[in-house]
Structure 1
Amino acid sequence: MLSSRILTTVEAHAEGEPGRVITGGLPNITGASVFEKMQNMQALHDDIRLLMLREPRGNPGLCCNALVPPCDPDADMGFIIMEQTEYPPMSGSNTICVVTVLLETGILPMSEPLTNLTLEAPAGLIKVRATCLNGKVTAVEFRNVPAFAMHLDAIIDVPSIGPIKVDIAWGGMFFVLADADAIGLSLDPDNGSEITRVSEALLHATKEQLPVVHPENPNITGPTLTNLWARPTDPETDGRGAITISTGPFDPDHPNEASGILDRSPCGTGTCAKMAVLHARGILKLGQTYVNAGPLGTTFSGRIIEETFVGPYPGIVPSLAGQGWICGHSNYTLDPSDPFPKGYTVGDMW
């Protein structure tokens, strides 16, 4: 078999959201921090992201992670997160997948009943506590980067829909958040096509009308995801969320044809962004827990562990907890004669 590239991966998911982890076959990715390594990968090795996430090796709902040596001496491992249209600085579900893979495959040593480790994400250091039993990671809880609300109750004019009241918040990524009930939109997963259509139109209208820049890193801009929320239906939870991840470019002349896909999990960074909004409104207090349900009914549990500032913005330091599962081990190859070295997308599902 002739191959110009061989990538070894572990397939995993966190509360339903798939997060492939590349454990071998990467080129040398340079940088003085994992954020710089992410920039280096984006500039020089983006073909790996496309190869892994697009068909025939990937699918629209898939995320991918590249394990890299950390740059911070306090970190045990670094990882770069890859999604269909961007390199997120942070992701809760992908963090949970990475921790599960690192410990259950023995890349990092597991201690039972608790394993403490530190990961370096592009957004910074992530302190992790993994609960372990009989070689299995049964829960992952981590201290996320500070979250904050940048705008509350802004009005965005969305073409073909009308004015929508939104919040913009950072939870490790920038989200535009809106009340699905106020829009008249059901968050039933069977309504996924309409959820993603409205979400993509809202996202790109917000990008045009109210773009944001992280106050401590001007290279991080947004918003890049939509977070529609609704009241809980399960008494054991505090709310529901439907996060849409873009899967293709947006054409302003055809806003109803924008492509996106629902995050299958409750979305870790989206949960933290929602908590920051609730805290900014005085609804969620220091020490309180917020249990967020995703489209599949699975949950992430967040808690405010500190109050802080991010630049001029009052914010929180949230923790987030959930579980991951390994579901496969793979070797992906690229034949030099393959006509699709960067994969492909087709309009029927992208």
Structure 2
Amino acid sequence: MAFSRTLSVVGCHAGGEVGDVITGGVLDVPGNTMYDKLVHFLNEKDNIRQLLLNEPRGRCSMNTNLILPPCDPRADAGFLIMESEEYAPMSGSNTICTATVLLETGMVPMKEPITQLTLDTAAGLVTVEAECEAGKCKSVAFDNVPAFVFELDYQVLVPGLGEVSVDIAWGGMMYVLVDAASVGLKVESRYSTQLVEIGERIKRAVQASYTPVHPENPKIKGVSILAFTESLVEENGCKAAVNTVVVSPGRFDRSPCGTGTCARLAVLHARGQLVEGEVFKHRSIIGTEFTSHIRGTTQVGGYQAVLPTVAGRAWITSFKQVVLDSSDPFPEGFRVGDQWRMAPSSLV
């Protein structure tokens, strides 16, 4: 059989969110930074993302991470995050998956009980501390890039809903955060259809009216993701809350979402609801949990920012060789609207 492409992939999930990791079959590309490499893959090699994430090899509720040599000499490895609609500058669940794969496969030496490593991402350097035992990562905590708020209580006119109040924040991706109760919803699976449909509608309305620009990398701009939040509760001496992140083209992040947690830490701190060092437990729509805290504050451009740390766990699910037969009629896969929530003109 003639294969035009063969890729080695380690299957993995963190908190339920699939974050497979490509460990072989893709060469490095030019770029002085990981963001440069992100742009190169977007413009020149996006067929790899399409092949792995589209059907029949992929599905809408998954991500794939690509390990590359780091651009920053302080890093142990670099990686890019491929999602259905974009290359995310940073992702918490994908960081946890990638660190777990690097350590449990021996690509980076594991040291028990604690392994420290640094990852080079398109958003900047991220340091990781993994709690390890008997060759397994029992917990992975990462010190994310600074998170900060662009807008609190931004009023946006949403077709069919009227005026909706949202927060806009950076946590490694550009987030719109919406109190689910403010639009008559709860973060529960029985409201899934409404959460996805209304979430996408609110996000599009924000995109049409407000464009946040990262002050240190103006090429990173515009919101691309939305989180529905529920109120804080006091729980065993710390604070906790449920959220769900709506990822385009219209599905939930199965995990509590790492960058979404960081964006929420920035919002909670800006509102005076969470102080440095206070533990915040963030839960997903399926009940999985990330633990987080603010380890300090800083300044990013003209914005007051927090330094977030998030911890979770990932599990390897498979080792696979993904191939493309040279006669396959779908070299970049396909999407169908029953799963991908696409406009009628885009259906296959």
TM-score normalised by the chain length of structure 1: 0.95
What's the counterpart of residue 143 of structure 1? 143
Of 331, 338, 345, the residue aligned with 2:328 is 338
Of 277, 284, 288, the residue aligned with 1:287 is 277
Deviations 1:238-273 (A, max 9, x none): 1111101002xxxxxxxxxxxx10000000000000
Deviations 1:265-284 (A, max 9, x none): 00000000001001111111
Preserved CA contact (<8 Å) 2:28 2:69: no
Alpha-carbon distance between aligned partners in 2 of 1:112 and 1:199, rounded to the nearest angstrom: 42
C-alpha RMSD of the superposition: 1.1
Q: Is structure 2 residue 191 aligned with structure 1 residue 177?
A: no
**Residues 53 and 86 of structure 1, relative CA distance in 2, 3 Å threshold:** same
What's the counterpart of residue 344 of structure 2? none
Q: CA deviation at 1:120?
A: 0.3
**Residues 284 and 155 of structure 1, relative CA distance in 2, 3 Å threshold:** same
Q: Match for 2:265: what amino acid?
A: M
Q: CA deviation at 1:210?
A: 1.3
What's the counterpart of residue 262 of structure 1? 252
What's the counterpart of residue 227 of structure 1? 227
Deviations 1:144-198 (A, max 9, x none): 0000000001111111121110000000000001100111112112321211101
What's the counterpart of residue 15 of structure 1? 15
- How many percent of aligned residue pairs carry the same amino acid? 46
Alpha-carbon distance between aligned partners in 2 of 1:114 and 1:101, rounded to the nearest angstrom: 16
What's the counterpart of residue 6 of structure 1? 6
Alpha-carbon distance between aligned partners in 2 of 1:56 and 1:99, rounded to the nearest angstrom: 27
Gapped runs of 5+ residues in structure 1? 248-259
What's the counterpart of residue 121 of structure 1? 121
Deviations 1:206-259 (A, max 9, x none): 000112111111100121100110025794661111101002xxxxxxxxxxxx
Alpha-carbon distance between aligned partners in 2 of 1:27 and 1:285, rounded to the nearest angstrom: 44
What's the counterpart of residue 298 of structure 2? 308
- Three-state SS of the structure 2 residue aligned to 1:57 is coil
Q: CA deviation at 1:316?
A: 0.3
What's the counterpart of residue 100 of structure 1? 100
Q: CA deviation at 1:27?
A: 3.2
Question: Which structure 1 residue ranges, 4+ long, deviate > 4 Å from structure 2?
Answer: none
What's the counterpart of residue 35 of structure 1? 35
Report matched runs for 1:143-222 at 5 Å: 143-222=143-222
Q: Match for 2:28: what amino acid?
A: N
Alpha-carbon distance between aligned partners in 2 of 1:234 and 1:245, rounded to the nearest angstrom: 28
Of 305, 315, 328, the residue aligned with 2:318 is 328
**Residues 235 and 306 of structure 1, relative CA distance in 2, 3 Å threshold:** closer
Deviations 1:53-110 (A, max 9, x none): 0000000001010000001110000000000111110000000000010000111100
What's the counterpart of residue 69 of structure 2? 69
Alpha-carbon distance between aligned partners in 2 of 1:28 and 1:110, rounded to the nearest angstrom: 24
Alpha-carbon distance between aligned partners in 2 of 1:89 and 1:50, rounded to the nearest angstrom: 18
Alpha-carbon distance between aligned partners in 1 of 2:190 and 2:13, rounded to the nearest angstrom: 21
Gapped runs of 5+ residues in structure 2? 341-348
TM-score normalised by the chain length of structure 2: 0.95
Of 243, 247, 252, the residue aligned with 2:245 is 243
Q: Match for 1:316: what amino acid?
A: V
Report matched runs for 1:78-89 at 5 Å: 78-89=78-89
- Three-state SS of the structure 2 residue aligned to 1:18 is strand
Alpha-carbon distance between aligned partners in 1 of 2:332 and 2:299, rounded to the nearest angstrom: 41
Aligned residues: 338
What's the counterpart of residue 132 of structure 1? 132
Alpha-carbon distance between aligned partners in 1 of 2:279 and 2:106, rounded to the nearest angstrom: 32
